[in-house]
Chain A
Amino acid sequence: MNWNSLNDFLAMGGYALYVWGSFGVTALTMLIEPLLIRKRRNDILRTLRREHAAEECSA
């Protein structure tokens, strides 16, 4: 085990800004991308449903 305490872990031997800045932004962007894909899916499904409903009405 490399760390004696939680503070020790968070301090990263003085490199906290650089290490957590790297892992934090990586994790954040890799969470945002799937959310954007989900939004894209919901958007296209909503559009298609609306068009489908409009076709049903006019038919």
Chain B
Amino acid sequence: MKNSQMNWYKYASPQNFYPLAGRLWPWFAAAGAAFALAGLWIGFFVAPTDAQQGEGYRIIFVHVPASWMSMFIYVVMAFWAGLGLAFNTRLSGMMASALAPTGALFTFIALWTGALWGKPMWGAWWVWDARLTSELILLFLYLGFLALQAAIDDPRRADRAGAVLALVGVVNVPIIYFSVKWWNTLHQGASVSLTKAPAMAHTMLWGMLLMALAFWMYSIATALARVRCIILEREGHNEWAKHELE
């Protein structure tokens, strides 16, 4: 028990986390590719045509997983940011910075595929309903976090400023999630609920869950690969990093 705790502290140092992240990310990338292939296969070849939306509903296989990731990554980012703010650990801020671009990407994908889904089904690319608007605010929070960090030269100060923004912005995540309950939205309710039986065909659900797993693995792989860049950018002058240059 004591030993395993020691190990966690060991990997809290950027110097020790750098090689660990380097060993791990290719496995996550490979798992992501495998899940994506399985998910796409089910999504296009196994899941049946939807009775109401025809083939157009297949956008769900990227739209819902990307939307989940956009919210989940923000919470994880805020968690790391808060940890860094509370304990002043170097790696926490780096993890928050490493997650932000991937989170912003999934938010963009959620909005983009949502527009392409809304046009044929609702007749509009965009409506200012609560779900869409709060998701757009999420994109601005990510972009604001990235811009704020980029504007501050000292990385530790940039981490702290970004952390405050990330923590304040986390209030938006439950607003996005519950927006379809709290307000009358054009956007439909939750596709998957933990308390109710799924309202969709099992093969559709499986395709969506596999794509969600693929996006998870992709996010972990990109965050680990990016945090390695950030570690080198900030601590590359240290003695240990010289071995990386060989």
Min CB gap A20→B, angstroms: 9
> Which residues on the A side are within 8 Å of B226 (C-beta)?
37, 40
Q: Which of B77-85, B105-113, B127-135, B146-154 contacts A (4 or more CB under 8 A)?
A: B105-113
For window 11-54 of A, CB contacts with B under 8 Å fall at 12-15, 17-19, 21-23, 25-26, 29-30, 33-34, 37, 40-41, 44-45, 47-49, 51-52
In the complex the two chains form, what is the Cα distance from A47 to B245 in whole Å?
10
Min CB gap B20→A, angstroms: 16
In the complex the two chains form, what is the Cα distance from A22 to B182 in whole Å?
28
Closest to B234 in A: A44
Contact of B241 among A21, A25, A29, A48 (CB under 8 A): A48
Contact across chains for A51 and B237 when beta carbons are under 8 A apart: yes
A30-B218, A48-B245 given as contacts; is B225 within 8 A of A19 (CB)?
A: no
What's the count of A-B pairs with C-beta under 8 Å? 94
Contact across chains for B54 and A26 when beta carbons are under 8 A apart: no
In the complex the two chains form, what is the Cα distance from A8 to B228 in whole Å?
45
Interface residue? A1 (CB, 8 A): yes
Closest to B40 in A: A23
Tell me what chain A mostly uses at the interface: helix, strand, loop, or mixed. Answer: helix
Contact of A25 among B56, B109, B225 (CB under 8 A): B109
> Which residues on the A side are within 8 Å of B117 (C-beta)?
18, 22
In the complex the two chains form, what is the Cα distance from A34 to B244 in whole Å?
20
Closest to B98 in A: A37
Contact of A2 among B45, B102, B218, B242 (CB under 8 A): B45
> Which residues on the B side are within 8 Å of A37 (C-beta)?
222, 225-226, 229
Min CB gap A3→B, angstroms: 8
> Which residues on the B side are within 8 Å of A12 (C-beta)?
55-56, 58
Spell out A's residues near B (CB within 8 Å): 1-3, 9, 12-15, 17-19, 21-23, 25-26, 29-30, 33-34, 37, 40-41, 44-45, 47-49, 51-52
